[in-house]
Amino acid sequence: MPTRRKRRVAKPAARRRPSRAPAGPAAASRPAVEPPAAVTAATRMPKLDPRLAACAFRAAREARLAPAATRRGAAGTGAASRGAATAPRSLRAVPIGLQSIRAQLSPTSQRDLEARDVVPVLVESSAASGRGGVGAGLARVATEARRVSRSTVVARVPRTRLGDVAALAGVRRVEASVRLRPRVDLAHASALLFHGGARSVSQTGAGVLVGIVDTGIDATHPGFQADGQTRIVRYVDQTTGASYSPAQIDGGAAAASPDEEGHGTHVAGIAAGGGGGLAVQRYAGVAPGADLAVVKTTFDTADIAAGVALVFDLAAQRDQPCVVNLSLGGHWGGHDGSSLLERVIDELCEPPGRAVVVSAGNEGGSRLHAGTRLPYGADTPQRWVADLELSPRIVQGTAMGLLWVSVWTQREDDLLVTLRSPNGELFRPPRSGRQEADRSRFAVDVSHQVAAYSGDNEFAFGVFAVAEPDWLHGWSLIVEEDRAQGRHGAQVGAVHAWIADEAMGAFVNGYTRSHLVGMPGTAYSAVTVASYATRKAWESQDPALPVVDLAAVNLEDISYFSSPGPTREEQNKPEVAAPGQWLVSALSAQASADALPLWVRLQGAPYAALQGTSMSAPYVTGALALLLEKDPALHWGEMKRRLAKSCRADRFTTPSWNQRWGHGKIDVERLLTIDPTA
């Protein structure tokens, strides 16, 4: 399941107003209904998530349809491949299941799919199966498997054998591994870490391990060195399989795993950079005395889970308290803490002295979520409609629309959910299982599952269309009460729908400015962080813009991009807000000008100014490292309690908790001095 990048580099720009699509099947501009291909009978794959079920069910016939498709080099899913893209007028010859799974994988996993026809997954087992039972079965099916927590194994499974994994005794759920997106001087004053230019607390994070799971790190940056030696105790590159010890890093071997995006280096610098490279260490991070463990990840959720587990295993070996930073996220799943990555995080944080910090997301202005509350007891059955549109994209050299949208309803409610196509056809999931329908210009995959933990209903819709306006626009979701045959319609009435990724498309109406915190930020144990502004001007390396001055930035106010909560179950997320808009931190020397343009790079220093909740999360990561230095046996629940107790409010935050600010602005000094019994 991919996630959206939690860093904002481009200057704020006015958002384009959405074009409205026709709302009903009688609209005159709708394309004509085509002669339908047969709709498949409902298939029951209750343990496979909808994306994997679509891939598994289509796998055998798509291998016959396009036998070379999984053996040629991957063309990618972005703009880089557009020159060679084709735009078919029909999807009949397009391997829909393969395209769907490709679009949600990282480039590393795409290459693995092309070379070996294997798919990364997360597998959850029941407690009764024990630690070995499911693993033994997986060994006979998967090409590789690794247990990352008490209940979860990450594995790579042949595409044609996904159903075999779901059929193993003890398996509760098999979830697609999807790609998430990667999401300080003035900041220190605002967060009360500094007074009068000097640190106001004695803690530096000494003895604490800070984990960074991100795009990698420029290990040569002076901010990550002390007395000529690296402060990085382990650097693991999941994209190549390489692992580097401190001696190898000091010897220059880590140059083979560069941070070409610069995101991970910047994040690490905020959390624990030493401020080196300048005569005055004005850009030091929050915990400059902490040790660092860095994982250069693929951003596939299976690899993120493995990366977090690796860091905590290393901390246990070194007998250190540990806090892991995840400046990443996405919108696959129930937004209630039940995704397998979030379950892994909760299980790994059970021992004391462990925490995971997650960025809230940069979708504060997006149209990814739509929702309503159907009233109880209305005289006539109630109905709600949300229109949506697909964005054209390139998948394996093919231009097409590809969108996954999930609708979640309460277990107490009897509601019907239907997808309406631009030509007026209606597609409703079966009571249990999935169906698919292939037309010439579009195809749909519809399913209904009952969530394992909440018992709530997930209606998932995969929509695939040719890249033509008539078929990219005019789609609708229809939710209505079911009062037939003794069913009781809306009791609670809450309806939530999420499009999995901004690159897939957007809602045209019915969208909200709430419930936009992405996973894994909805994990119960995770500390989820919003962003506010502390800087708007700096001297840059860009000759055309030597002084950057962003007058529209409202200092001390919430960042325009910061994703608001709460969770689908109305739990309080985010917990806290921290500086995240135009923070200055370490610049990777390996980052290209495309990744980090000259105007964000500071003049005369190896540092850059970036914005996003990717930047606010490591600020809190560093603050928790200071807290763990003071009290290394704290449980994550007590860390959250102290954060909530120590946050400060002002005219911007208004009374807290609220969905934008959480409990308020972080106050590092008070966090470290608050009376735990208060």
Domain CATH for 399: 2.60.120.1290
Residue 170 lies in a domain: yes
Bridge partner residues of 244 (DSSP): 235
One domain, residues 540 and 634: yes
| 3-state SS, residue 142 | coil
pLDDT at 38: 41
pLDDT tens figures, 329-371:
999 889 999 999 999 999 999 999 999 999 999 999 999 999 9
Strands 209-214 and 291-296: parallel
pLDDT recorded at residue 211? 98
Task: Say if residue 279 is in the same domain as residue 406.
Answer: no
Cα–Cα distance list, 306 to 133, 245, 534 (Å): 20, 19, 34
Spatial separation of the C-alpha atoms in residues 436 and 452, rounded to whole Å: 23
Query: How do beta strands 398-409 and 392-395 pair?
Result: antiparallel
Q: Identify the pLDDT of residue 65.
A: 46
Of 166, 181, 196, the domain-final residue: 181
Burial string for 275-286 (b: 16+ CB within 10 Å, else e) reads bbbbeebbbbbb
> Which residues does 390 contact at the CB level (< 8 Å), separation at least 6?
401, 402, 403, 463, 465, 471, 472, 473, 475, 504, 505
- Direct distance between the N- and C-terminal alpha carbons of the chain, in angstroms, rounded to an integer: 42
Q: Among 190, 183, 188, which Cα is nearest to 284's?
A: 188
Closest by Cα among 469, 486, 503 to 414: 486
* d(C-alpha 447, C-alpha 432), whole Å: 7
- Is there a domain that residue 8 lies in? no
Answer positive or negative: Cα dihedral of 189, 583, 182, 515: positive
Last residue of a domain, one of 456, 476, 507: 507
- 512-565 pLDDT, tens digit per residue, is 999 999 999 999 999 999 999 999 999 999 999 999 999 999 999 999 999 999
pLDDT at site 190? 55
**Cα(147)–Cα(128) distance, rounded to whole angstroms?**
16
pLDDT of residue 129: 47
**Rounded distance, CA 292 to CA 289, Å?**
10
Q: Give domain status of residue 669, yes or no.
A: yes
Give yes or no for a contact between 275 and 223, defined as CB atoms under 8 angstroms apart: yes
153 and 187 belong to one structural domain: no
464, 487, 507 - which closes a domain: 507
Is 14 part of a structural domain of the chain?
A: no
pLDDT, residue 184, reads 44
User: Are residues 584 and 628 part of one domain?
Assistant: yes
pLDDT reported for residue 46: 67
The reply to whether 92 and 150 lie within a common domain is yes
Which residues lie across from 326 on neighbouring strands?
A: 358
Task: Mark whether 321 and 350 lie in a shared domain.
Answer: yes
* Separation of alpha carbons 567 and 151, rounded Å: 23
**Helix, strand, coil tally for the chain in percent (to 5):** 25, 30, 50
Residue 93: both structure tokens together: 């010859």
Same domain, 295 and 381: no
CA distance 436 to 57: 10
> 19, 84, 85, 624: which is closest to 354 by C-alpha?
624
Structure tokens at 150: 């008490």
Residue 420: domain span: 369-507
- Judge whether 197 lies within some domain: yes
Amino acid in position 318:
R
467 and 606 together in one domain: no
Q: Which residues of the chain have pLDDT under 70?
A: 1-46, 60, 63-84, 127-135, 183-200, 277-281, 677-678
Alpha helices in 253-319 (DSSP H): 263-272, 301-318
Instruction: Tell which phi-psi region holds residue 604, choosing left (phi > 0), alpha (psi between -120 and 50) or beta.
Output: left
Contacts of 662 (CB under 8 A, 6+ apart): 528, 529, 530, 565, 572, 573, 574, 575, 576, 577, 647, 656
In a domain, 27, yes or no: no
Q: Which two tokens stand for residue 532?
A: 């506010």
In terms of domains, do 247 and 136 share one? Answer: no
Number of structural domains the chain divides into: 3
What is the CATH classification number for the domain harbouring 549? 3.40.50.200
Q: Are residues 177 and 193 in the same domain?
A: no
pLDDT number for residue 194: 61
Answer yes or no: do 359 and 212 share one domain: yes
Q: What is the pLDDT of residue 560?
A: 93
Query: Is residue 377 a contact partner of residue 336, using CB atoms and an 8 Å limit?
Result: no
Residue 565 lies in a domain: yes
Do 202 and 266 have their domain in common? yes
The pTM score is: 0.89
Which pLDDT belongs to residue 304?
97
Task: Please name the residues in contact with 456: beta carbons below 8 A apart, sequence gap of 6 or more.
Answer: 334, 336, 408, 409, 410, 411, 450
**Rg of the chain on CA atoms, in Å:** 25
Would you say residue 4 lies in a domain? no
Closest CA to 640 of 660, 653, 615, 657: 657
Residue-level pLDDT at 56: 77
Query: In this structure, how many other beta carbons lie within 10 angstroms of the beta carbon of residue 332?
Result: 28
Measured between alpha carbons, how far is residue 133 from residues 50, 130, 146, 172, 174 in Å?
25, 6, 13, 13, 15
Whole-angstrom distance, CA of residue 174 vs CA of residue 164:
11
Q: What counts of helices (H) and strands (E) characterise the chain?
A: 14, 34
pLDDT for 10 = 46
